Amino acid sequence: MKELSKKLKLKRTWQLHVMMVPIVVLLVIFCYVPMIGIVVSFQDYLPTKGFFGSPWVGLDNYRFLFSLNDFFQIIRNTLIISGGKILLGLIISIFFAIMLYESNMRIMKNVVQTSVFLPYFLSWVVLGGIFIDIFSLEGVVNRIISFLGIEPVMFMGHPIWFVIVIIITDVWKVYGYNMIVFYAAIMGIDTALYESATIDGAGRIRQVFAITLPSIAPMIVVMGMLSLGNILNAGFDQIFNMYNPTVMSTADILDTYIYRMGVVSGQYSFATAVGFFKSIVAMILIVTSNWAAKRFAGYRIF
Amino acid sequence: MKRIEEIPMYRRTKGPLMTIGVIVNNAILLIAAALSLLPILHIIAVSFSENAPANANLVGLIPIGFNLKAYAEAVTDSKMLVALVQTIKRTALGVPVNMILTILCAYPLSYHKKDFPMRTFYSGFVIFTMLFSGGLIPSYILMSRLNLMDTLWALVLPGIPVFNVIIMMNFFREIPEEIKEAAMIDGAEHFTMLTRIILPTSGAVLATLTLFCFVGHWNAWFDALIYMKDLTRYPLQNYIQTQVARMTLSPDLEEAKRLAFISRRSLLFARIFISIVPILIVYPFLQKYFQTGIIVGAVKG
């Protein structure tokens, strides 16, 4: 059979090249040309003069960036928000994956899986509009807590509460995804382990800590590492649709900063420098985390 | 692979402690399911409510004074209809363009490098764009240099779905060799192979990715925010965004007329609900495919 397929191999690879043409052209125009456009960060780019007419300023934009106090605050905000989302996201999705596995009601499994995925497919424009209302001073959440006798909280206007709301609502939107990944990992555990544990008299909770968690530990590490590769993406879509001037000190992240500096204020060169810094660090993180995930658990994306 | 609903025999409940455990377990799951849906049910209830209770935020999950006035105002808002048409146009143009690109890229890359020597080069060329990008501003400058600002092409062409390519490529590789070889014996060339053999056997992955593309275009807003200078060309998401941002300001004259008999919140939530109806319609399919997709991806690793 091997011999036969060798003989019959499709010889005309030029057709494969032809198929690749459209994507290569588009990638060159919309991905590779902007990479060259990074030179703008070494210029004082003026739209009227273009790439070739704008004056060169060397590393001035980068020196300016690293001298800014704002910059360190933005890095800190990015890492806190991102880190919080990764940590809480892992805990919640593992918790519910285990809960889902432990449930003995088939209908409950279906109900849960159908419900928790819905927010995943809604945009942050829509969800931002909903959450700004729900967490407002007169919103549903404050209604509930004042019913319990607690003072209303300015969730959207308080720098620390805002970050907490950002982390919780993001986890709320996406935890179904990792939940299913962990659920599939749990389903792959050899049921003989549980059977013998039951015979040995181990209770269900004991089994979770003695069997389930150790068995999915490699998967937890892989998911954690892959998220670390994306730690500089603290969620532009979400924050842009939810933040306001009163929470800038804790809510302004790299991407919102780049957007405001570049698109809103028109400081093209400076914003490109910030973007380049982010791209370089992000690339190093993604390559390292994928390498580590592959090495640690044989995970490969391509 | 084991069916997802399967519950092993030995895990059936026994004893009073177990009964409590089962109740707690299912109660927690029920709360999780409810929490995912409650915010959406709440805004739907508000959108159908009377002016006064909606303004005073008295509506929970059941409309107070059920009426359709907010929807009547939303669907007669000409700006919103223009935005809806923009979204439909970008989706109608974007989904086929993205799918064709995905297929044309996934098919060659599904070959082993022994059969397609340049595969390594091409896949590296594609993957590198996932790892590194020029960033926001160079793309923005480029788009204005290409004179694509304010055109639908600015929203369609740069969205190269590399992730979808990987999913489709993996699917193509799973197609049994025998089927491909039968075509080769008949002397099929690559284009024939793709259109006659590969695509007809790939219905599942084509449907899934079409759905993902649809949701992606329907929900996209950032590209239009930066590439559409003319606000009348904003898609629906951007229109909603503008309306959300305006909630803290006093309404303009046109909006004030609409708000004569309804709450501002009802109108906003009616607009939001209209914008998510298509997602809700495809959601059952989306959820099914998506879930199997994640599991296959995770298991294959």
A-chain residue closest to B226, CA distance: A263
- Distance (Å, whole) CA B276 – CA B271: 9
Q: What integer is the mean pLDDT of A173-194?
A: 91
User: What residue segments make up the domains of chain B, in order of their start?
Assistant: 9-71, 76-177+204-300
Judge: domain B76-177+204-300, CATH 1.10.3720.10.
yes
Token code pair at residue B122: 């091409």
pLDDT of residue A200: 86
From B16's Cα to the closest Cα of chain A, the distance in A is 13
A1 has a pLDDT exceeding 60: no
Residue A56: phi and psi, rounded to 5, are -85, 140
Q: Do A17 and B240 touch (CB under 8 A)?
A: no
- Distance (Å, whole) CA A97 – CA A92: 8
Lowest mean per-residue pLDDT among A25-39, A152-166, B175-189: B175-189
- Smallest CA-to-CA distance from B166 within B222, B209, B216 is with B209
> What is the tens place of the pLDDT at every residue in A243-271?
999 999 999 999 999 999 999 999 999 99
Residue A147 lies in a domain: yes
For residue A43, what is the DSSP state? B
Residue A111 lies in a domain: yes
The domain tally of chain A equals 1
Q: Do A16 and B286 touch (CB under 8 A)?
A: no
A6 has a pLDDT exceeding 60: no
pLDDT-flagged residues of chain B (< 50): 1-5, 9, 299-301
Q: Do B142 and A30 touch (CB under 8 A)?
A: yes
A80 vs A8, A67, A72, A253, B218, CA distance in Å? 57, 21, 12, 10, 31
> What is the tens place of the pLDDT at every residue in B135-191?
899 999 999 999 999 999 999 999 888 888 988 998 898 888 888 777 777 777 888
CATH of the domain at A225: 1.10.3720.10
> What is the tens place of the pLDDT at every residue in B35-59?
999 999 999 999 999 999 998 888 9
Sign of the CA dihedral A238, A242, A244, A247?
Answer: negative
The beta-strand segments (E) located in A111-233 are: none
User: What does the mean pLDDT of chain A come to?
Assistant: 90
A285 has a pLDDT exceeding 80: yes
Q: To probe the interface with A, which of B24, B137, B140, B217 has the most A CB atoms within 10 Å?
A: B137
pLDDT of residue B17: 77
- Distance (Å, whole) CA A255 – CA A80: 14
pLDDT of residue B8: 54
Ordered alpha helix ranges (H), chain B: 16-47, 51-55, 69-75, 78-109, 119-131, 136-145, 153-156, 162-174, 177-185, 190-192, 203-219, 222-227, 236-246, 253-258, 264-300
Expressed as residue numbers, the domain containing A265 is 71-297
Residue A17 lies in a domain: no
Query: What ipTM was predicted for this assembly?
Result: 0.90
Q: Do B141 and A283 touch (CB under 8 A)?
A: no
A77: confidence class by pLDDT, cuts 50, 70, 90:
very high
Residues in chain A: 302
Q: Do A13 and B118 touch (CB under 8 A)?
A: yes
A2 has a pLDDT exceeding 80: no
Chain pair A-B, CB pairs under 8 angstroms? 301
pLDDT of residue A302: 44
Of B7, B134, B265, the CB nearest to A106: B7
Q: What integer is the mean pLDDT of A137-153?
A: 92
Of B25, B286, B290, the CB nearest to A103: B25
A-chain residue closest to B219, CA distance: A123
Sign of the CA dihedral B42, B46, B48, B49?
Answer: positive
pLDDT of residue B3: 46
